[in-house]
Amino acid sequence: MTVLHAVEEGVGRDELERIVAVWQQRLRLGHWQIRIDWDTPSDHHADIKPWSVYDYATLRFNSAAPTWSPLIANRNIVHELLHLALRDVDYAVETAELVMAANTYKLFEAAVDNASEAAIDRLATVLVHLAGPA
């Protein structure tokens, strides 16, 4: 079992940008244009929002990101980039709203979101372990 500790030296902005670029290539997402918004901190570790124009996204980090250890930074970045790889699954779930009752859809969406986050988190951990940090 791997235990992640945030006690190493922090990565800083330049290193976060480098890690994003490396994993973007590793995950075959090099065609995506990803803008890092340093001015609007995330309420989570990080979040990524695809734009309505395909293959464009904005990535935000929380204010603690520059203090993350390299291992935690890699895992959090891979987690967010995997959301882009699964973007079409999210859109497919959203189409269910057209045919489901509002309360049913709300439960369905929450269940899918929870399952998706858990799967993405496990995949991110495994990928960083197998490929090594950027």
- What CATH number has the domain bearing residue 115? 3.30.2010
**For residue 2, is it within any domain?**
no
Instruction: Please report, rounded to a whole number, the percentage of residues in the chain having pLDDT higher than 90.
Output: 81
Q: Is 70 within a domain?
A: yes
Calculate Rg over the CA atoms of the chain. 16
Residue 5 domain-assigned (yes or no)? no
Question: Which residue segment(s) compose the domain that 43 sits in?
Answer: 12-131
Residue 114 domain-assigned (yes or no): yes
Angle at 21 between CA 20 and CA 22, to 5 degrees: 95
Could you read off the pLDDT of 69-114 as tens digits, one per residue?
999 999 999 999 999 999 988 888 989 999 999 999 999 999 999 9
DSSP reduced 3-state for 134? coil
Report how far residue 27's alpha carbon sits from residue 94's, in angstroms, rounded to the nearest whole number.
Answer: 24
The answer to the question of residue 62 being in a domain is yes
If one counts the domains in the chain, the total is 1
Lowest mean pLDDT across 6-20, 60-74, 114-128: 6-20
> What is the reported pLDDT for 6?
45
